[in-house]
Structure 1
Amino acid sequence: MSEPIHPTLAEVTRRIEQRSERTRIAYLEVVSRTARPGPYRSDMGCANAAHAYAAMPGEDKLLLRQERQPNLGLITAYNDMLSAHKPYEFYPERIRQKARSLGASAQVAGGVPAMCDGVTQGEAGMELSLFSRDVIALATAVGLSHNVFDAAMFLGVCDKIVPGMFMGALHFGHLPAVFVPAGPMTSGLSNDDKSKIRQQYAQGLVDRATLLSAEQAAYHSAGTCTFYGTANSNQMLMEIMGLHLPGSSFVNPGTPLREALTDAAVERAVALTHEPGSGVGHQITAEVLVNGMVGLLATGGSTNHTLHLIAMGRSAGWVINWEDFSDLSACVPLLARVYPNGSADVNHFHAAGGMGFIIRELLSVGLLHDDVQTIMGRGLQRYTVEPWLKQGVLDWREVPATSGDEDVLRPVTRPFSPDGGLRLLQGNLGRAVIKVSAVKPQHRKVSAPAVVVNDQKELEQLFKQGKLERDFIAVVRCQGPQANGMPELHKLTPLLGVLQDKGYKVALVTDGRMSGASGKVPAAIHVTPEAVAGGAIGKVRDGDLLTLDCEAQSLQVQVSDAELAARDAQLPDLAANGQGIGRELFGLFRDRPLLAEEGASPLLSGYAR
């Protein structure tokens, strides 16, 4: 049995419910108006229905014409560019066959775009990355808008794809939703070795061929990248929020167990169509969102979810903020060390006990809500298990009582850290978040002069010129959603790491994002308000003394209030940020008033505001 809810967990949940009362009621009213008994296609005109399944095989047409059995709509993010999404190429046919065996049918309702942040890091295309989440939400809605489906299945893994699908799914909250993972690639070159070679390349100690060989050894096959960035944080979230099958997040692609789990996901989707009130809109309660936040903190997950989870919650009428994350972080222990917070990858994490172990440990001390609805039924206790093939048939068993490797995964009685390592910073520069789970204690407070740039490539150039061999705090501004779409600044990680390793005190302050794999250098990110929206970060000058203090949760420029107010922002001409590589098409998004702490989504309106 799970223990009584921890008081902080209860308090954060209560205040989310309280501040969301109006918006949640408005959302549920929309869901209720849309829902109806029986197959959704049954009330359609004959011509409409004929169009919907004109291309389907004869046996499927007969089934659909009878208007008795469920029809599953598939939203797929398959493409060959993302290694994590390559396995989805053959999922639709497998799902169709399994659905037929259950007396149901399935159709690909639509595809959504899916870009690879690993390809676009540091390039102009990365400026489309964050807003691609909202395009995915829109594309999900287009696919499901045909309204001939009784449940939806979502085939997506990576950074913006799952949050976008989730947001789209909640606008069809009357439908049950099952998310279907594809699994991580097998382990290749270790993440530690990869990181070392990146730093050596940044210093000119190895050539491009050596770097490319290392990267190809790390990213070598179909499946999710094995570090614990946003993609794998997505998978953790879908499981701990009850939208995956238990233990399914980190099973490798192309294995018999992976295939059996995909078949079982179809079974659950079909079963949910017969269960009243099983729509995803009712399933995603404040308790479920808080469970997702706790999971993120306990595993050292991606900072990108301080944007995504907020936007995801608002799509169902729930209003969460950075104080909620920070307060939960103070009481949620860090139970996993997966790169960049350790040397292990997600395959090691899964082998050591994985999600079932994490969920059981957190439930045992009241740090998760057990009484929630999942696709498996009521109660998160259903997720303290792991899947296996028993004589070739899928079954679940309790996870082992002890961790398989305490260097990777620990019980709640012996955590790696008593807190989750995610903190809200506040001061005269605004509000920001910082992840300290991979930052050593001696690096958690930095007071140093500012080095101000308006583009990450400017900082790279200063590094190459040898002008950063000193203590400093890099202020990289004009990187927010309104300025240029808020790209990740992951390419700064190796060079800042090199300088820290040389003994310099360095840190980063930005209104942009770091990667979900941000690590050992302290980085105050998502600074709000951003520079182009009048934020104080736009008024910082080269040489100003800045203090970033993780323990005091403070972010200050040592300038008087009067002087700071009197200064004009020194911002560059940003016109080029809206041109080339398709960026012109996203002007509509950048022009909307966006705040990082509101999820940085241009789609949030009506009950979501």
Structure 2
Amino acid sequence: MSADSRIQAITHRIVERSKPFREPYLDRVRKAAAKGVQRSVLSCGNLAHGFAVCSPAEKTALAGDRVPNLGIITAYNDMLSAHQPFETYPALIRAAAAEAGGVAQVAGGVPAMCDGVTQGQPGMELSLFSRDLIAMSAGVGLSHNMFDSVVYLGVCDKIVPGLVIAALTFGHLPAVFVPAGPMTTGLPNDEKARIRQLYAEGKVGRAELLEAESKSYHGPGTCTFYGTANSNQMLMEIMGFHMPGASFINPGTPLRDALTKESARRALAITAQGNEFTPAGEMIDERSVVNGVVGLHATGGSTNHTLHLLAMARAAGILLTWKDISDLSDIVPLLARVYPNGLSDVNHFHAAGGMGFLIKELLKGGLLHDDVRTVYGQGLHAYTIDPKLGDNGAVLREPSPEKSHEPKILANIETPFQPTGGLKMLSGNLGSAVIKISAVKPERHVIEAPAKVFHNQLELNDAFKNGALEGDFIAVVRFQGPKANGMPELHKLTTILGILQDRGQKVALLTDGRMSGASGKVPAAIHVTPEAVDNGPIARIQEGDMIRLDAVHGTLQVLVDAKELGARIPASPDLSGNDFGMGRELFAPFRAVAGPADQGASVLFA
């Protein structure tokens, strides 16, 4: 099944643009793979250290070159609900590896922070850079050169992108990603949002707010709204890093464990010692990346991936741009309504047909490349399934349904929720930006209003509390980019601006920072680049300037004469308060060298 000619044309231009980087990358991957089993280059002393704690049988197996050794990179900690289930995964993986005639070792752990805990706190200024740190940490674990294949245990916001960067950096090794799944459904997301707004207005107290939040985030697994964490899982499946159907099975279930064991066995089956060698760096190519972007648009996924996908692709020598993402958005229809793009959560999405149905419909429409390599060993059509638990305890895959079980959540390709994707790119005399429109009502896709200027989200929060946010306005929150303070999410502003919008005011946000992957109904032009600290035009906006945000035509303009705008002295607030506390001083080198948002805001590919 061939992809639509428009999809092919965008893929082709990515291929051509990437050649100066992709070809040397593939050459490095192939040279590393050609060396054969990596343990063969280790001295006896090296190897003895590497398997010192193994059983006698495992030592005998690893002393030769024929038994594959599976490395486990884990983001386990028991504070994060999404990662707590990983505590038991190494034992499951070791047992499955032994049954398959291999060995498995935990190669290393990587940090995993929760944006839900750090929202609005100083620690959020470490969040984006934790992605690159995770890639580096995984690299340390794999640098021992003991492994023939790797399973990556990670779920949440920066963790999966960081692990993908590591997997592609060690692209000569096969890589299988193993999720933990979403927590069961708790308090409906719209009810949680309602109580947040009541709290912000002073109509309920902290006790009521905490009760609602605790009913929403109530057990092991990923938060159930469709933010960055669940967008990650969609991406890993549609890009072929997951086993088919693995993304949205709840933790602690027999099917979840069966998928984990199957993933371990498959990771061993695709090593260089077998007949299905699938090195990650060759498996993921420009077609895989385009499939990921298509999935992001079709599901109204996280804006954070306009950063992460660029950095992930760059790790494989592939140059993806915001224009590629924007052009794909014009082609790909929205097929999913999951909060904040709808009222349902990812458990409802999975019950409606889930990833198998989504992929089937996108293939039917010619919007995906089927002829890609995956860890499963077949084209993407093999992912058009519904996973079940067989009578023998193994994974059973049935064909995905012909029709959605719930058309209000998951649509057929013939009847999409909207004809274009959930993300749009904006450009104009303020630079470039990203906006998520899948949850924004059409009448709010164009906002023209005077600027109210702030240099951090606390200033805007104080203005709200003081009743200073009257009338229509566009809130300009600047000096929030990667070089200024690490580009924190400004999720706390969602509630405030949502309240004002519900009161009938026309409001929007303009920032060089980020919003949450779950940001929704308020128009928000985010990731503005050049950022303010890099002398971007956003630093020249003054209080009261008229700004026009037009998501229909993809433009972002401050309505000021070009000569006047250029002659203004850029704002230069004191940013020293961002330099210390909660570990921020440790990340000063990252802030100094971070690349721009439209190149992934990375310290690795700046």
Q: Which residue in 2 is equivalent to 1:291? A: 291
CA distance in 2, matches of 1:310, 1:319: 7
Q: Given the alignment, which residue of 94, 106, 109 partners 2:107?
A: 109
DSSP 3-state at the match of 1:374: coil
Aligned length: 603
Structure 2 residue aligned with 1:544: 545
C-alpha distance in structure 1 between counterparts of 2:472 and 2:308, whole Å = 33
Per-residue deviation at 1:278?
1.1
Distance in 2, matches of 1:66 and 1:136, equals: 31
For 1:580, the aligned partner's letter is G
CA deviations on 1:410-432 (whole Å, 9 max, x unpaired) are 10001101110311111111000
* 1:109 maps to amino acid: A
Aligned to 1:354: 354
Q: Is the 8 A contact 2:453 2:543 kept in 1?
A: yes
Separation (CA, whole Å) in 1 of partners of 2:125 and 2:395: 43
* Structure 1 residue aligned with 2:595: 594
What is the Cα deviation at residue 58 of structure 1? 2.1
Alignment of 1:402-441 (within 5 A): 402-441=403-442
Whole-angstrom distance in 1 between the partners of 2:423 and 2:82: 27
User: Partners of 1:526 and 1:260 in 2: how far apart?
Assistant: 40
Q: Following superposition of structure 1 onto structure 2, how do residues 114-193 of structure 1 map, counting pairs within 5 Å?
A: 114-193=112-191
Confirm or deny: 8 A CA contact 1:337 1:344 kept in the other structure: yes
Q: Within 5 A, what are the aligned runs for 1:312-331?
A: 312-331=312-331
Q: What's the counterpart of residue 204 of structure 1? A: 202
| Further displaced range: 484-493 or 548-557 | 548-557
**1-structure distance, mates of 2:211, 2:57:** 50
Offset from partner CA, 1:267-297 (integer Å, 9 cap, x none): 1101101235510000110000000000000
CA contact (8 A) 2:239 2:289 kept: yes
Aligned to 1:532: 533
SS in 1 for 2:593: coil
The whole-number CA distance in structure 1 between the counterparts of 2:35 and 2:593 is 38
Give the letter aligned to residue 590 of structure 1: R
* Residue in structure 2 matching 1:265, options 259, 263, 268: 263
> Partners in 2 of 1:335 and 1:496 — Cα distance?
27
1:229 equivalent in alignment to 2:220: no
What TM-score, normalized by structure 1, do the two folds share?
0.98
CA distance in structure 1 between the partners assigned to 2:61 and 2:252 by the alignment: 31
Aligned-partner Cα distance in 2 for 1:337–1:276: 37
Q: Deviations over 1:423-479 (max 9, x none)?
A: 111111100010100000111111111000000000000000111121000000000
What root-mean-square deviation, in Å, do the aligned CA atoms of Structure 1 and Structure 2 show? 0.9
Runs of 4+ in structure 1 over 2 Å off: 36-39
Identity of aligned residues (%): 60
For 1:593 and 1:445, locate their aligned partners in 2 and report how far apart those are by CA, in whole Å: 32
Superposition deviation, residue 92 in structure 1: 0.4
The more displaced of 296-305 and 574-583 is 574-583
- Could you say which residue in structure 2 is the equivalent of 1:74? 72
Is the CA contact (8 Å cut-off) linking 1:8 and 1:327 kept in structure 2? no
Structure 1 distance, partners of 2:125, 2:38, is 39
TM-score after normalising by structure 2: 0.99
Contact between 1:72 and 1:107, CA under 8 Å: does it hold in 2? yes
Q: Are the aligned partners of 2:222 and 2:229 in contact in 1 as well (CA < 8 Å)?
A: yes
Partners of 1:298 and 1:75 in 2: how far apart? 30
Alpha-carbon separation, structure 1, partners of 2:386 and 2:108: 31
1:238-260: CA deviation from partner (whole Å, max 9, x where unpaired): 00000101111000000000010
Residue identity matched to 2:32: T
Question: SS state of the match for residue 289, structure 1?
Answer: helix
Q: Report the alpha carbon displacement of residue 37 of structure 1 after superposing the two structures with TM.
A: 5.4
Determine if contact 1:335/1:411 at 8 Å carries over to the other structure: yes
Larger deviation: 26-35 or 111-120?
A: 26-35
Q: Where does structure 2 lack aligned partners over 5 or more consecutive residues?
A: none
Deviation at 1:40, TM superposition (A): 1.5
Residue 321 (structure 1) shift = 0.8
Which one-letter code corresponds to 1:189 in the other structure?
Answer: L
Please list every run of 5 or more consecutive structure 1 residues that lacks an aligned counterpart in the other structure: none
Give the corresponding residue for 2:239.
241
- Is this contact kept in 1: 2:175–2:241, CA < 8 A? yes
